[in-house]
Copies of this chain bind each other. A is one copy, B any other.
Amino acid sequence: MAREFDVERVRKDFPILSKAMRQGASLKYLDSGATSQKPIQVLDAERRFYTESNAAVHRGSHLLAEEASEAFESSRQIVASFIGAAEDEVIFTKSATESLNIIAYGFGNPDSGSLCLKPGDKVVVTEMEHHANLIPWQQLCKRTGATLAWLSVTDEGRLDLSHLNEIIDSSTKVVAITHQSNVLGTINPLDPIVARAHEVGAVVVLDACQSVPHMAIDVRELKVDFLAFSGHKALGPTGIGILWGRAELLDEMEPSLFGGSMIESVTMETATWAKAPRKFEAGVPNMAQAVGLAAAINYMSDLGMAAIHAHELALTTYALDALNGIDGLNIIGPNSMDSRGGTISFTIDGIHPHDVGQVLDQDGIAVRTGHHCAWPLMRRFGVSGTTRASFHLYNTMDEIDALAAGIKSAQKFFKVD
């Protein structure tokens, strides 16, 4: 039932967008790849939780505890149905980073049964992974004696699948891969990778940080086995992430955080675990943030993920066009609209990304500069960093015009035009 997508109406829900920046410039927020802004509906939902229902969930027989548990568990339901998952498969973590680490710890625990890696086993990642989907696997391999291998990236910023069958071979137990690159904007072709992984009996871990906030996702359709994303990039609060896993795998996998609420029974010497999702949610959880994330998801669902996606693709088309018109600007990543999302990295001949960012900031244009937590990818492209513009549902063509104008004035200022 998606209505016409009205960006001006959407923008009214985001109070920060009317903030005055340096010297009174208006904010042009093009850094949603790092974190998104939050609509007032999310802030209100969190506040309502605190002022009306705040109590420790699952731990009291009083009315507040009942309402808090209801709010928390119905948030879980909202997340589950948003990604096509069963409710008990959705685990609240603090971030995608934590979600991915939980999986990596699970695969290193001898009590995880057949999931536990051993020397000779292989973990496959890609050269475009965010550090959060790379270092946990490096550490897992170090702990277990397994080997880390990776799919490399082509000059166009695509995964090189020409050696797929050698890289993902019968020793491969885990394939951990990003859905959409946080640097290049590339949307990776999951079908052949998932098919190959499952052919050799490996599980597929999907880093969906940059896809869940921008397009409709169904974990069953993607056929992946685990999925992670962060709330703060999806219009939700900071301090919350999601870990989704297939029920059978969550059942087999050991938890990595131990404490209250995740137990079945405890003595001084030993303890047994509750079933998922509880097993993976030790301690009083981030209840208000779960409620806030559910509000963010409801906000996006009301607008319609298809409409949001279409809006962002239109922005990206417009932006690629505008940026390609600037001499001395090099797009790092796909320079066409084929399988890419609204994240564009670039370099400017003769100006360091930091300096580009600084000049843009002067005009209220917020971009990110540096290695974007994907240092190996920077080396792959022989750059020390890039400037990155990344879009979300509240961005406009005007902001892209401002970006292009800002880049040109940076070139003028640094006399490289």
Interface residues on A, range: 35 or more
Contact between chains at B21 and A63 (CB < 8 Å): yes
Known: A15-B51, A101-B258, A131-B266. A288 touches B373 (CB 8 A): no
Asked if A238 and B285 sit within 8 Å, CB to CB, the answer is yes
**Interface membership of A282, Cβ < 8 A:** yes
B258 contacts A375, C-beta separation under 8 Å:
no
**In chain B, what residue has the closest Cβ to A357?**
B61
**Contact of A263 with B52 at beta-carbon distance under 8 Å, contacts A60-B368, A357-B61 already known:** no
Question: Which residues of B lie under 8 Å from residue A285 when comparing CB positions?
Answer: 238-239
The stretch from A3-11, A29-37, A164-172, A335-343 touching chain B is A29-37
Cβ contacts A27-71/B at 8 Å (1 or 0 each): 101010011011000010011001110111001111111000000
Which of chain A's residues 362-390 have a Cβ closer than 8 Å to chain B?
364-370, 373, 375-376, 379
A361 contacts B61, C-beta separation under 8 Å: yes
Contacting residues, chain B, for A367 (C-beta < 8 A): 60, 62
**Listed residue (A15, A139, A285) with the most chain B CB atoms within 10 angstroms of its CB:** A139
Q: With A16-B50, A239-B240 as given contacts, are A357 and B35 in contact (CB-CB < 8 Å)?
A: no
A interface list, Cβ under 8 A from B:
15-16, 19, 21-22, 27, 29, 31, 34-35, 37-38, 43, 46-47, 50-52, 54-56, 59-65, 94-98, 100-101, 104, 127, 130-132, 134-136, 138-139, 148, 150, 230, 232, 237-240, 256-261, 263, 265-271, 282-289, 354, 357-358, 360-361, 364-370, 373, 375-376, 379
Q: Which 6 residue pairs are nearest across A and B when measured between Cβ atoms?
A: A97-B283, A239-B286, A132-B259, A260-B373, A135-B258, A34-B56
Task: List 25 A–B pairs whose Cβ atoms lie within 8 Å, in order of A's numbering.
Answer: A15-B51, A21-B63, A27-B64, A34-B65, A35-B54, A35-B284, A38-B50, A43-B47, A46-B46, A59-B368, A62-B360, A63-B366, A94-B283, A98-B283, A127-B268, A131-B258, A131-B259, A135-B263, A138-B270, A230-B284, A238-B284, A238-B289, A263-B375, A267-B376, A268-B376
